[in-house]
Structure 1
Amino acid sequence: MDKKKLKKLLEDVQEGSTDIDRAMEHLDDLTYKNLDFAKIDNHREIRTGYPEVIFGQGKTPEQLREIISFMISKESNILATRVDPEVSGYVSDLSPDIQYHKLARCLTIRKKPAEKTAESIAVVTAGTGDLPVAEEACVTAEIFDNRVERFFDVGVAGVHRLYDNLDDIRKCRVVVVVAGMEGALPSLVGGLVDKPVIAVPTSIGYGANFSGLSALLGMLTSCAAGVSVVNIDNGFGAGYLAGMINKL
């Protein structure tokens, strides 16, 4: 409940159009909703500008269903990440607006009218194998009203593909670069654009890739200025951060 709604509730009590018991029901969930197994942060959007996001991995279908059932009663857009297809089917009847993004493994419910930003976020991948992580970043940025431009499979093994798209990438306000293997693409992009670059290492690669560790270390030791790094396979974190930068 934001300040305007709280003020309206108090006014309704004073006028007699809402009784005390009804008002107390609203106030019970003022800061967070206690579901025993989860405590849903109702104030997060007031504090940070973004509502709480559901991390689906590790949650049972029943837990996810109960969390979403409560959050649907609010006015904020809903994003759940790392949701498996069979789990998404368990909650699909909760709202006609539920959309499951299979490649990203994300579930979204849009409660607010879309108001896309004038500026765009570029999401760039080294290879096709990086698409699930990249799409997680895209879906995250888009549900929070950012315009996203996708530039996929433009890795350093065929660098001409990147140069063919460079003019369009440079028009975007922030660039998310998703890469596995040795993770070289963010350094290359960082040396070619005048925008902040968010590097996302993925677990895609052969044995010495160490499930993304080699890409992570390569990105952390990048010689290009203006490159920041999120954790391995953390498309959500990159999309969220890119959205914040895009709206500054």
Structure 2
Amino acid sequence: MDNKQEILRLLRSVADGTTAPEDALLELKESPFEDLGYAKVDFHRSVRQGAAEVIYGAGKTPEQIAGIVSAMGERGCRNILITRVSQEAADRVAESVPLEYHLLAKLAVAFPAERKQRGNIVVATGGTSDMPVAEEAALTAEAMGNRVTRLYDVGVAGLHRLLSNLDVLMRARCVIAVAGMEGALASVVGGLVDCPVIAVPTSVGYGASFGGLSALLSMLNSCASGCSVVNIDNGFGAGYLASRINQMEGLED
């Protein structure tokens, strides 16, 4: 049982008498998670949070990833995200389950399925070197059913590139601003749009950028209101949060 609709189906079947309350209780008891020994797969994540559990691929063997994904697929989960996974590991997992792999973002989608794309999230980068993190954010949001527009290499070193896309930015429900170096892009975007801005500092930059710490501190100190910050290189976290903002109840496509 992987989503709210399945629980509602079960409850309605109890209400109309096709399922005994005792059988429904047993199904609910069995559904929260499955213990695989090396992982406890959380099948109620989508009920609580609106999206299935995401697999962090780094540090897991291909066999472990395949086992987790297979267990989720058997419960009907689709568009299962696997983050920070290598090409080699993804190729081995793909031998046992349907898988789409995106090399730039080091992200895979298991049991890929079509989803209605809602709203509009804009993912913007300061430079081309920020694209791996930006793609992790964009692909995460797309897998969760969001329409995504990419604006890459529009940093403050050539501000006219960003300003030529004001119409795109101002139509967005949420903007993800991905930048390294001094991380100025988030503040500039935050001063232009009327929607939430999620700032993603990247580890791109020379020595004094301290592996993204400089961009992180700049973004945390942004004077633009409505700008929040995720961790360094955390494209997944930004894409997930943007999806929640974009799909808030009451917003129209």
TM-score (norm 1): 0.90
What are the residue-to-residue correspondences of 1:79-158 with 2, within 5 Å?
79-96=81-98, 98-110=99-111, 113-117=114-118, 119-158=119-158
- Secondary structure of residue in 1 paired with 2:74: coil
Mapped partners of 1:93, 1:215: distance in 2: 40
2:8 aligned residue (4, 8, 28): 4
Instruction: Give the conservation status (yes or no) of the 8 Å contact 1:110–1:143.
Output: no
Q: 2:196 — aligned with what?
A: 196
Structure 2 counterpart of 1:80, one-letter code: I
How many pairs align? 240
Structure 1: tracts of 5 or more residues without a match: 15-19
Q: Cα distance, 1:113 vs. partner?
A: 3.8
Q: Cα distance, 1:13 vs. partner?
A: 6.0
Mapped partners of 2:43, 2:195: distance in 1: 33
Q: Cα distance, 1:48 vs. partner?
A: 1.2
1:51 maps onto 2:22 in alignment:
no
Q: Cα distance, 1:217 vs. partner?
A: 0.4
Instruction: Give the conservation status (yes or no) of the 8 Å contact 1:200–1:230.
Output: yes
What are the residue-to-residue correspondences of 1:174-213 with 2, within 5 Å?
174-213=174-213
Instruction: Give the conservation status (yes or no) of the 8 Å contact 2:100–2:112.
Output: no
- Secondary structure of residue in 2 paired with 1:132: helix
Mapped partners of 2:11, 2:95: distance in 1: 34
Question: CA-atom RMSD, angstroms?
Answer: 2.1
Q: 2:38 — aligned with what?
A: 37
Mapped partners of 1:39, 1:54: distance in 2: 12
- Secondary structure of residue in 1 paired with 2:187: helix
Mapped partners of 2:103, 2:247: distance in 1: 27
Q: 2:61 — aligned with what?
A: 60
- Secondary structure of residue in 2 paired with 1:172: coil
Structure 2 counterpart of 1:156, one-letter code: V
Instruction: Give the conservation status (yes or no) of the 8 Å contact 2:34–2:42.
Output: yes
207-216 vs 70-79, greater mean Cα deviation: 70-79
Structure 2 counterpart of 1:92, one-letter code: A
- Secondary structure of residue in 2 paired with 1:94: coil
Q: Cα distance, 1:194 vs. partner?
A: 1.1
Q: Percent identity?
A: 53
Mapped partners of 2:76, 2:32: distance in 1: 15
- Secondary structure of residue in 2 paired with 1:72: helix
- Secondary structure of residue in 2 paired with 1:108: strand
Q: 2:218 — aligned with what?
A: 218
Mapped partners of 1:30, 1:9: distance in 2: 17
Give deviations 1:202-247, integer Å, cap 9, x for gaps: 0011111111000000000001111000000000000000010001
- Secondary structure of residue in 1 paired with 2:108: strand
- Secondary structure of residue in 1 paired with 2:38: coil
Instruction: Give the conservation status (yes or no) of the 8 Å contact 1:76–1:111.
Output: no
Mapped partners of 1:113, 1:153: distance in 2: 29
Q: Cα distance, 1:7 vs. partner?
A: 4.0
Instruction: Give the conservation status (yes or no) of the 8 Å contact 1:190–1:224.
Output: yes
Structure 2 counterpart of 1:201, one-letter code: P
Structure 2 counterpart of 1:146, one-letter code: N
What are the residue-to-residue correspondences of 1:160-179 with 2, within 5 Å?
160-179=160-179
Structure 2 counterpart of 1:4, one-letter code: L
Q: Cα distance, 1:69 vs. partner?
A: 1.3
Structure 1 counterpart of 2:74, one-letter code: S
Instruction: Give the conservation status (yes or no) of the 8 Å contact 2:97–2:111.
Output: no
